[in-house]
A and B are shown apart, each in its own frame.
Chain A
Amino acid sequence: MSHTRAVRPPRALLAAAVVACAVAAIPLAYLLVRVGAAGIEEVIAVFGRPRVPVLIANTVLLAASVTLTTVAIGVPSAFLLARARLRGRAVWTMLAALPLAVPSYLAAYGWLAALPWMQGFWAAWFVLTLVAVPYVTLPVAAALRAGTTGLDDVARTLGRGPLAAFRLGTWPQIRPAVLAGALLVCLYTLSDFGGVALFRYQVLTTAIQQAYGASFNRDYAAILATLLVLLAVAVVVGEQVARGRAARQFGAVTGPARQRRVRLRRWTVPALALLLVPPALAVAVPVTVLVVRLFEAQTLRAVDAVELGSAVANTVLLSASGAVVAILLALPIGILAARYRGRVVRAVETTGYLALGLPGIVVGLSLVFFSLAVVPVFYQTAFVLAFAYGVLFMPKAIGGIRSATAQVPTSLEDVSRTLGNGRTRTWWFVTARLARPGIAAAALLVTVTAMKELPATLLLRPTGTDTLATELWSRTDVSAYGAAAPYAVVLLMVAAIPAFLLSRARTGEFDEAVP
């Protein structure tokens, strides 16, 4: 069965995607303006700095190694969650999602407090890997649940060993999910500042922060940010090329979703360790350190319940609104990428992803620039902040929407069209209904990420409005860790809710719908 269409995309869909793409390009347009203001001499001077090649090399090294490690941990974890006979599967799946609730700056802070000698590349690699593994584990587990082991069986019958059979039968089915997860991890690592800065590992984002922090030189910051965008383009295009190949292989997969579950036997202990250790290191260590700090601290002040309550409410409302914006922006891009091929489609999808490769402060400033120029009435209102979350995190939704849509056979849409339904109606009644779990998962992923966001929130929030992340920041900023601990713990608990729901989100509904 064919999952993509050879014909040209409908005009309305393309138009919607181009609009979403234009929104995603706001930060890029802003960077162009700033780099233009800097002039060519300054751009050349930046490359003359002895430190800049080091920064680029460090950034690439970190992004590549974190991505590879998360795949190495995430794929086997996903296999265990989806295909092994496991007692308490739901609990293990929830544990696997839990690191999503931990902001990288909090994990880094916790580890550094526990082990003050942690520093440099290894420390940054370790902590970012811990918090980023779920980006691979969750989509791959979902793909495994939706897939079939029938092809593995055929390969075994023909005399292949279990690993070779997996490579031939299952791997092509999960490869798009692995690539999509790896892409998110890679872009996340490129743009992360908080986790890296504490370990004194110098990358482009830390240099960007310094450019704002000491030089008050936003042109230099913009030039460095443009370098990050170029790296992000290379990563996104690389993923598209790899996925293009995978899609052709996937085309051969047919047959009913039949799954055989593996008995673990003597592998039980190492398997459970693989599932237990990353979440324990990502979550338990920082939480323990914070609680210890809470009892050690001499600046312990009573927690203002009203303040805490309003921070929780703001965090939930803003991040949920941000998720709605992100989904609305990502839908046309995701559908386009799932159903159509071609240069325009690739360009639209690439642009959609780029904001994720930029640090929050750059995206935040670009929206200050944009909202003052276009909708000054809404400047410093919750609307612009929710919109900013949408721009920042729509890339996290594109992949999920794309793969959820791609799983719906186009033949079903054709049937609906034959019965006289229009394109939009078909989409709502057939495609959206079947792709809904995937779209819901994408929304949850955006929500949990937006809850932890700090730099853009500081720039764009309505004056006087606090979220859990800003409350946490204002306390750790003066090393009042005792006073910060309750906010950190509440942030983890609130963010754990969408992470938990995400672990339960299944793309499997499709299996029942199409026997």
Chain B
Amino acid sequence: MRSSRHARSAGAFIAIALTLTACTASPESGSTGEGTLTIYAGRNESLIGPLIEQFTDDTGIEVDVRYATSPELNALLLEEGERTPADVFFSQDAGALGSIASAGLTSTLPGELADLIPAGFTSDDGSWIGVTGRARVIAYDGDDLTSETVPDTVDALTAPEWSGRVAFAPGNASFQSFITALRVLEGEAAAAEWVNAIAANDPILTDNNLATLDLVNSGQADIGLINHYYWFERAAELGEENMRAQLEFLPGDPGGIVNVSGAAILKGAAGDADALAFVEYLVSEAAQRYFVEETFEYPLVPGIDAPEGLPALESLVNPELDLSDLESLEQTQRLLADAGLL
């Protein structure tokens, strides 16, 4: 019968096509069997790919990496639950780690490993470990402003003179952890006052840090609240001398806190030596130096110098702040939502 032949050929086409797809997958993948470490990486392949290759060269441990954004991987991990094929989650920010930790999907890291990173930059219960730091900074339009005329505190940005000139991404996790820091350092009332004042000061709302930086770089905004290392990524692309945006660090100000990227071992991989070896590798001296040199991030292991030209990590305030505290994050979001920013 002809109809069933058509149906069969359609089925055969799909089967062949998809088998071919499996074959064309890059050689290091497609073998998610035992003995291969599976990492969900919310960080960019071009940034950490070389580091992971180095890990495999050094240890002989084969790695499958699944790249996507941290929020997507967080949603994926929550959906997969305990059936996840992932052994390690390497996240761009602490919130995503806190989210899977509070869903009970992480395993507890050994004490001697967790203690390597100073409090405030890592979890307080060993569910995940901080790996690198990114400072919140002001990016300003270097054609219109100078380091002297740029405020050195976010408090000044609510003044009428900055009306319509300040850009930020209210939906971004690192912006929100700055608001949380504001609440912790200056109190709920002061934080609410700042949020309402900035919302009333005609801010330029963006979708993410990179878009904020691009607005400043093209002269569409005078000031952008971003993470410092986006500037270095952009400068690597365009050349430092071509950067119209300049950075102002904010030592001592809640607007200048440090957000962290971090890693967790998932529950199913608890006790897995390869997974542990990878997390240990991320906080080894070699890897920490790699982050300093290649991604211009702050190393979190004490004793390793920050990238050149950046203020010391200790000069930036990080209140005893649990960056992965989701209840606190929820309060921050309510504050932003009430002000109409979210």
Which residues in B have some Cβ–Cβ distance to A below 8 Å? 1-3, 6, 10, 13-14, 17-18, 20-22, 24-26, 28-30, 32, 38, 44-47, 64-69, 71-72, 74-76, 78-80, 83, 85, 95-96, 98-99, 171-173, 175-176, 204-207, 210-211, 214-215, 218-220, 230, 233-234, 236-239, 326, 329-330, 333, 337-338, 340-342
A49, B337: Cβ atoms under 8 Å? yes
Q: Report the separation of the CA atoms of residues A314 and B22 in the bound assembly, to the nearest whole angstrom.
A: 9
CB contacts under 8 Å to B, within A245-300, are 296-299
A480, B237: Cβ atoms under 8 Å? yes
Task: Check if A368 is an interface residue, CB within 8 A of chain B.
Answer: yes
12 A–B contacts, CB within 8 A, in A order? A49-B342, A214-B176, A216-B71, A216-B75, A310-B25, A314-B24, A382-B18, A458-B72, A459-B76, A465-B29, A479-B233, A479-B237
Closest chain A residue, CB of each to CB of B70: A213
Q: Report the separation of the CA atoms of residues A307 and B64 in the bound assembly, to the nearest whole angstrom.
A: 16
Partner of A365, one of B32, B76, B85, B214: B76
Q: Report the separation of the CA atoms of residues A462 and B205 in the bound assembly, to the nearest whole angstrom.
A: 35
A425, B71: Cβ atoms under 8 Å? no
Residues of A within 8 A of B6 (CB): 428
B72, A386: Cβ atoms under 8 Å? no
B25, A462: Cβ atoms under 8 Å? yes
B75, A480: Cβ atoms under 8 Å? no
Residues of A within 8 A of B210 (CB): 479
Task: Check if A190 is an interface residue, CB within 8 A of chain B.
Answer: no
Given contacts A210-B342, A310-B24, A458-B68, 11 further A-B contacts (CB under 8 A): A51-B337, A197-B207, A198-B211, A212-B75, A297-B237, A317-B17, A325-B14, A365-B75, A464-B25, A470-B67, A474-B44
A216, B13: Cβ atoms under 8 Å? no
Known: A116-B214, A299-B237. A314 touches B172 (CB 8 A): no
B337, A116: Cβ atoms under 8 Å? no
Task: Check if A27 is an interface residue, CB within 8 A of chain B.
Answer: no
A324, B79: Cβ atoms under 8 Å? no
A474, B67: Cβ atoms under 8 Å? yes
Q: What are the interface flags for A394-437 relative to B under an 8 Å C-beta threshold, 1 for contact and 0 otherwise?
A: 00000000000000000000000000000011011100000000
Nearest Cβ on chain B to A129's Cβ, whole angstroms:
21
Task: Check if A361 is an interface residue, CB within 8 A of chain B.
Answer: yes
Partner of B173, one of A213, A299, A424: A213
A317, B65: Cβ atoms under 8 Å? no
Nearest Cβ on chain A to B21's Cβ, whole angstroms:
4
Nearest Cβ on chain A to B236's Cβ, whole angstroms:
6
Shortest 6 CB-CB distances between A and B: which pairs? A464-B29, A210-B171, A116-B218, A216-B99, A382-B18, A213-B71
B173, A481: Cβ atoms under 8 Å? no
Which residues in A have some Cβ–Cβ distance to B below 8 Å? 49-51, 54, 112, 116-117, 119, 197-198, 200, 202, 206-207, 209-210, 212-218, 221, 296-299, 307, 310, 313-314, 317-318, 320-321, 324-325, 328, 361, 365, 368-369, 372, 376, 379-383, 386, 424-425, 427-429, 455, 458-459, 462-466, 470, 474-475, 477-483
Partner of B46, one of A116, A202, A365, A480: A480
Q: Report the separation of the CA atoms of residues A111 and B46 in the bound assembly, to the nearest whole angstrom.
A: 25
Q: Report the separation of the CA atoms of residues A138 and B341 in the bound assembly, to the nearest whole angstrom.
A: 41
Residues of B within 8 A of A425 (CB): 1-3
Known: A372-B79, A462-B29, A466-B26. A321 touches B13 (CB 8 A): yes
Residues of B within 8 A of A459 (CB): 68, 72, 75-76
Closest chain A residue, CB of each to CB of B93: A214
A51, B342: Cβ atoms under 8 Å? yes
Residues of A within 8 A of B13 (CB): 320-321, 324
Known: A325-B14, A368-B79. A313 touches B237 (CB 8 A): no
B64, A464: Cβ atoms under 8 Å? yes
